[in-house]
Amino acid sequence: MAIDFDKVASIIRQFQGLGPHEAYYLKDLAQYELTGPLVPDTEEILRPAFSHSNNVLDIGCGRGKTLIDNAHLFAHGVGLDESEDHMIAYAIRARDEKAITNLDFQVGKALNLPFEDNSFDMVFSERGPLGYYDDTLEEALRVLQPEGLIFVETLGGLDALQAEQARFEAHNISLQTLVVSRNSLLFKDFYELLKYQCSGWIYMSEALPSPTDRDFFEDLLAQSTDDRGNICIPYRTIWIAGSLKA
């Protein structure tokens, strides 16, 4: 498949000059008709787990969208993020605009949570600092009640899936859910996929590829095509949830 580099350059130009956080959050404004099938809505998976009696913690809450959208479903929520200017300030503003009173947002680090042991019935993190790292997972488990629910969304290949599962089990968590997004998707318009991946990479790598870096895009195409010529995404979204054993 030939790549139209002019089109690639025009996609990248939309995001140039934006910081990584803006690039990520502006992706919704860039008409991502295909984002739905590519990345199912994590809130749909999380929502049934909320309960009216629960205290919940979102680690790496970003701008707090999940807590704000679902605040009516739990007793009290706390969103923690290390970024004040890019994340927590926005979350507080959005919460106050909606006059939501059962949410606190605060600046903090996942490795050193400012909470007592066993403070929460549910702890979750959507593409935040809990994926891959034992130390942040252990800190999250410290503040989770025995038999509380932990939910982690992370990105990775199949090896990441096995590693996350093993990590959960090694930490005395009984696995409840393990969902993996489809990785093989056929698109009539490859450039829609490229548009998605450009913004994702801007966010993840915090570095813009040059629109003239043809090797970069040739590699992307090679990684994104399976042996039958179907377009695939190189990363899968992994949702893993479990209960801390008493």
Ligand X SMILES: C[S@@+](CC[C@H](N)C(=O)[O-])C[C@H]1O[C@@H](n2cnc3c(N)ncnc32)[C@H](O)[C@@H]1O
Residues that bind ligand X in the complex, under the rule CB under 6 A: 60-62, 65, 81-83, 87, 109-110, 126-129
Q: How far is the CB of 113 from ligand X (least distance, A)?
A: 9
In the complex, minimum distance from the CB of residue 116 to ligand X, in angstroms, rounded to a whole number: 18
For ligand X, the closer CB: 126 or 164 = 126
> Which residues sit opposite 174 in a β-bridge?
243
How far, in Å, CA of 54 to CA of 62, rounded? Answer: 21
CB nearer ligand X, residue 65 or residue 171: 65
CA atoms of 194 and 12, how far apart (whole Å): 10
Nearer to ligand X, 129 or 211 (CB): 129
Nearer to ligand X, 128 or 242 (CB): 128
**By C-beta, is 14 or 83 nearer to ligand X?**
83
What is the number of H-type helices and E-type strands within the chain?
10, 7
Minimum distance from CB of 41 to ligand X (Å)? 11
Residue with Cβ nearer ligand X (203 or 217) = 203
Q: How far is the CB of 72 from ligand X (least distance, A)?
A: 19
Q: Is the dihedral of CA 168, 170, 176, 178 positive or negative?
A: positive
Sign of the C-alpha dihedral computed for residues 28, 33, 39 and 40 taken in this order: positive
Residue closer to ligand X (CB basis): 69 or 218: 69
- Residues 56, 74: Cα–Cα separation, whole Å: 7
Taking the complex as a whole, the smallest distance from the CB of residue 148 to ligand X amounts, in Å, to 19
Look at the block and give the residue holding tokens 């140039």: 16
Distances (CA, A) of 189 to 4, 62, 195, 225: 12, 31, 10, 13
Helices (DSSP H) in 83-230: which residue ranges? 89-97, 134-142, 158-170, 190-205, 214-223
To the nearest whole angstrom, how small is the minimum distance from the Cβ of residue 230 to ligand X? 27
Give the number of other Cβ atoms within 10 Å of residue 86's Cβ. 17
Element (H, E) at 239: strand 236-244
Q: How far is the CB of 98 from ligand X (least distance, A)?
A: 17
